[in-house]
Every structure is written in structure tokens, then in C-alpha cells.
Amino acid sequence: MSLRSEPLATRLRAHALRMTFASRASHIGSCLSMADILAVLYAGILRLDPATPDWPERDRLVVSKGHAAAILYAALAERGFLPIGELAEYGTNGSRLSGHVTRTVPGVEVSTGSLGHGLPIATGMALAAQRAGAAWRSFCILSDGELDEGSNWEAVQLAQHLGLDNLIAIVDYNKMQSFGTVAAISDLHPLADKFRAFNWGVHELDGHDHAALHAALTAPPPRPGRPTVLVAHTVKGKGVSFMENQLLWHYRNPDAAQLAAALAEIGAT
Amino acid sequence: MRTETIDALTAYARAHPDVMLLTADLGYSVLERFAEALPAQYCNVGVCEQAMTGVAAGLALSGHRVITYSIANFPTLRCLEQVRNDICYHNLPVTILAVGGGLAYGSQGYTHHGVEDLGIMAMLPNMAVASPADPTEAETLLPQLLERRRPAYLRLGRAGEQRLHPPGTPVPLGPALRLRTGHDIALLATGPILGRALAAADALAATGLSASVYSFPTILPLDTATIREAARTHPAILTLEEHSTQGGFGSRVAEALLLAGLAPRFAKYGITEALLGRIGTQDWLLDQLGSVEDHARALL
């Protein structure tokens, strides 16, 4: 799997950088921190059929951190849900590729952008699969900052009570949120223990380690009969040294020289 | 009307296994009949309206039609953004079923007074908003809202409302129903306050004034044709709602009149800030607004 997902992650980073440059958009740091998570998911974990985006037996992915739209669209394009050439329209007048994740894009399950909405929806999807006796799984990628939203913890509580072992949350734990570090604003530590206390099975891992991500996403639920969370330690802006751990790159878009430097750093061709 | 509506829902869901009922832990002694008959189609999610609404969206995106159930403000205002983004923006077949609309829980205080819900829900895209006056309207509208397979809000009163229509009266989604025909004033009511409109028509008749009485079980879409017709055939219109007069049914009627270039004498009977913080029975609180017939006479 790592043979395919590693180069995919590089392509996703390159797309996101180019899209953010061209549309003068924000949130490149948030995109780069989840590039490896998305690459592993789309390289082979998610059971999907790009020719039939609404295939009933498909796995569901809800990207709750809807501001990281660019890299999700890039992953969907790489997976064949939309033309790669369309990525150039990201954020432009009349484009369907809006700055926050929108369901009008083929392959997108849920429109997001207001934080704290995704996990309850993914919980509902998992409940539907459970009641139907279906084999598909429900995945949800969350930011760390959005765990400040109480609605997430309503779903964390409910999902374990309902025994939704087909629900997998992935926290992109890059330690930064809108105004600064998570530690300074509303510290989540010890995050894994919070989920354990809610009876969730927990994988705590490096969110840029493809082998570790793949192993966690293919393992049986660590807590049988309960949902699973990947507390994925990541670096905001991962892969571009001058963007890493820099709050500014939550907001700033690269200029031409910065784009060239960033593409060179990640090894994009 | 609560019991009759749940009976109608149970019958409908029995024939349509895609229908699921979620409650945020309210409905004690009301929902048990559904839960016992159709356990696979029922889930009490606990006291979490935001998660309930998101879960409803997730179920709806996976092929279900979903009812979310709670007391007036809880499944609407508490989770307004989930209703807006997750349900309405996605145009999902989720019907919010709220009990205790208006002042039904009058003595419980303002937290339980559902007096802004209709106006707020009627602002949302893809919505239908129904505010039935009696069990006949409620039990008839519910299956129609489910058949529509889009977002909906069904606002109920409590238990024990009298039937104002003969059982079996057709109540299609959308049109208003005329219950009385007069010529001096038209009383346009939505919800159980229709009973007060009918009583006021009787009181006005005793003093030689004839009133038409219309019920508007649906306020979105609004039957503007009937509103225009009422304005053309009566010199005065009084709207009645157990809801804030700011941005509710009466405001929507006023807007429809203005847009049609019609200017009858016009007033709105409904909840004002004079009732803010006051408690009492539903009837006592409404009495504090003054009688409907007095409001009508003031227009004539």
C-alpha cells in the first residue's frame, strides 16, 4: 500500500499548493497536515466506485474539517471522480469547487465548513449500516480545533452507546487552531485518554506514517463492539519547511516563488 | 393531537420500513407505542439535539426518511445550524416533529414557550412548515410531509385538542381551508388558536358582524391565492397565531398582501413581548392578549 499511497500524497500536496496559489485561497496548512491520511484512505482503504459515486455499498468518508476542501477535491480527482484539469477552477466564480467541502462535487458525501457537524452525520451513517446489517464503514476526519465543539462529544458518547464498531474517526492532530496552538487556546491533552474514557478503541500514531495509518485502518476494532479513533499526530503544513507549524499558513496563500520552492521541497514534478 | 399524530406515524412507518423515528429523550408515554411496534425503526439518542439532527442527516443520506422528535425549541433552535446545513442545504427527507408549540407548556416558563419556531423554520431553504390546528389536520398532514421526501417542520400543540374539522376532512399540504363564510372580516388562523377564531366568529355574529374563518395548516408554502381572495372579499383581515407577531404567520400574510398590491385593514393577533417571562396555563396566557373579537372589532 505504501508503494501507492506515498506518491499519491505527493501529488495531493502539489495539487493543493497549486490550487491555493491560483485561487489565492486559505487553509493550505490544514490541507498539508492531512495529505497522508487522505492518500492512505483513497489509495486503497475506502471501497469506492468512481463510476458509481452513489454505490450503496461504498464506504463513507465525511471530512468534517471542511476548510481543507482543496486537498479533498484533489484526492477525488486523483481517484477518478472528477477531471484533474477541473482542479484549476477551485474557488473561481461559478465553480462547483467551493472553498469549503461541498456535496455537489462527485464523491463528496457531505457538505461541511461549520465545525462540529461531521461526526454526528458519520454516526448516523454508521447507524444506517448497522441497522441494515451492511458491511460498509463510516469514516470521519476531524481537526483538533473543532473538538472544542460540543456536538462532537455528543456523537462520541452516542456512537459508543450504540455499539457502532463500523465508525472510524480520524483526528488530524496538528496542534494548531485558528488563533494559535491548541495547547494555548483550549488544550485537548490527554486526547487519546478522553476517547478511551468514552469507551472508544484508540490508535495513537504518526499521521504521516503510511504503514502505521494503513495498519490501523485495516485492523479489527481495538475495542470490540465500539467505535475506533485514530489520534493522528500531524504537523500543520507538513512537507513544506517554511509552512510547517506556522499559523500564518492557515491564512496565507503562496506567491509564485513560494509555490516553486514548496513544490521543489515536496519533490513534485 | 400528539397521540393521533404518533398513531398516524406508526401506521405509516409500518408500511414504509425506511422511516426512522429519533427522539432526544422526550415523548414519555407518547412514543412507546411506536417504539414497541417498530423497534428497528426507533432510536432514543439521548439528550443531544445537535447530534440527533446530524444523525438524522447521516441516516437520510443512507436511504432513510427520518423524524426527529422533541419539544418545540429543542429540535429546532438548539440545533438550528444542523437543521440549516445538514438537513436543509442537503435537501434531505427529515421531518422535525415538535410538540408543545406556542404556549402549550405555558406554566413551564419561557424556555418551553415555542414562539419563534415557525418564523425561523420558514426562513430555511427546501423547507415545508406545517402548523396544524387539530388532530385531523395533524394526522393528515404527516404522511404528506413524509411523501414529499424533503425537509419539513411539523409543529404540534399538546394532547387533547378538540377536532375542529369532521374526521376524514381532506387536508392537503399547502391550501388553506375555509370553515366559516362571512363578509365583514376574515380571520386567518394557523394552529390550535383556530378554536379561538371560531369562537370569536360566533361572538361577532351575536352582535351582527359576520366573519369568515380560514385555517392555514401549512404556512410554507403559503396559500397566497386564498390570502388575496380573502382581501378582495373582506374589508379587514386579522391573522391569528400562537407565535411571535414578529416574523411569523401574520408577517408572511402582510407581505403577501403588500406584494399583491392589496391593503385591507389589517392586524396581527399573536404573542408579544408583553408575555415574556409570564407563566400560566395556555388559555390564561392567551387571554392576556385580549379577546380575538375585541381585536376584530377594533379593525371594523
Domains by residue range for chain B, with CATH? 2-155 (3.40.50.970), 177-299 (3.40.50.920)
- Please count the CA atoms within 13 angstroms of the CA of B113 that sit on its side-chain side: 23
Alpha helices in B168-222 (DSSP H): 194-206
Q: What is the pLDDT of residues A5-38, one digit of tens each?
A: 999 999 999 999 999 999 999 999 999 999 999 9
pLDDT, average across residues B125-152: 98
Interface touch A123/B48, C-beta < 8 Å: no
Residue entry with cell 516553486: A260
**Fold assignment, A2-266:** Rossmann fold (3.40.50)
pLDDT, average across residues A87-97: 96
Q: What is the pLDDT of residues B194-225, one digit of tens each?
A: 999 999 999 999 999 999 999 999 999 999 99
pLDDT level of residue A1 (50, 70, 90 thresholds): very low
| CB-CB neighbors (< 8 A) of A132 in chain B | 62
Cell numbers found for residue B28: 414519555
Round the average pLDDT of chain A to a whole number and report it. Answer: 96
In 3D space, the residue among A193, A212, A198 whose CA is nearest the CA of residue A153 turns out to be A198
Residue among B59, B81, B85 whose CB faces A124 most closely? B59
Residue entry with cell 399573536: B270
List residues in chain B touching A: CB distance below 8 A.
20, 40, 43, 45-46, 48, 50-64, 81-82, 85-86, 89-90
Q: Where are the domains of chain A?
A: 2-266
With an 8 Å Cβ cutoff, is A133 touching chain B?
no
pLDDT at A45: 97
Residue A269 has pLDDT above 90, yes or no: no
pLDDT level of residue B21 (50, 70, 90 thresholds): very high
pLDDT, average across residues B89-103: 98
pLDDT, average across residues A116-145: 98
What is d(CA A62, CA A64) in angstroms, rounded to the nearest whole number? 6
In 3D space, the residue among B250, B299, B9, B24 whose CA is nearest the CA of residue B115 turns out to be B250
| CB-CB neighbors (< 8 A) of B54 in chain A | 117-121, 123-124, 151, 155
Interface touch B54/A121, C-beta < 8 Å: yes
Listed in sequence order, the residues at least 6 apart from A215 whose beta carbon sits closer than 8 Å to its beta carbon are none
Residue A43 has pLDDT above 60, yes or no: yes
How far are the Cα atoms of A194, B82, B220, B254 from residue B125, in angstroms, in the given order? 37, 13, 11, 21
Residue among B51, B56, B90 whose CB faces A155 most closely? B51
ipTM: 0.96
| CB-CB neighbors (< 8 A) of A131 in chain B | 20, 40
Residue A218 has pLDDT above 90, yes or no: yes
pLDDT at B167: 82
In 3D space, the residue among B44, B27, B32, B42 whose CA is nearest the CA of residue B99 turns out to be B27
Residue entry with cell 491555493: A20
| CB-CB neighbors (< 8 A) of B51 in chain A | 120, 123, 151, 154-155, 158
pLDDT at A166: 98
Cell numbers found for residue B78: 438548539
Residue B278 has pLDDT above 50, yes or no: yes
Which H or E run contains B130? strand B128-130
pLDDT level of residue A162 (50, 70, 90 thresholds): very high
Cell numbers found for residue B136: 385531523
CA distance B9 to chain A (A): 20
A54, A121, A136, A152, best to mutate vs chain B, most B CBs in 10 Å: A121
Cell numbers found for residue B217: 395548516
In 3D space, the residue among B82, B75, B69 whose CA is nearest the CA of residue B30 turns out to be B69
Tell whether the torsion through CA atoms of A131, A137, A141 and A147 is positive or negative.
positive
State chain A's maximal CA–CA distance in angstroms.
53
What is d(CA A38, CA B125) in angstroms, rounded to the nearest whole number? 32
Residue entry with cell 491560483: A22
What is the value of pTM for the model shown? 0.97
pLDDT, average across residues A196-208: 98
pLDDT level of residue A2 (50, 70, 90 thresholds): very low
Residue among A110, A114, A127 whose CB faces B55 most closely? A127
Q: Please state the separation of Cα B231 from the chain's center in Å.
A: 23
A153, A154, A161, best to mutate vs chain B, most B CBs in 10 Å: A154
Of B58-67, B163-172, B252-261, minimum mean pLDDT range: B163-172
Residue among B20, B45, B86 whose CB faces A121 most closely? B86
Cell numbers found for residue B11: 401506521
With an 8 Å Cβ cutoff, is A98 touching chain B?
no
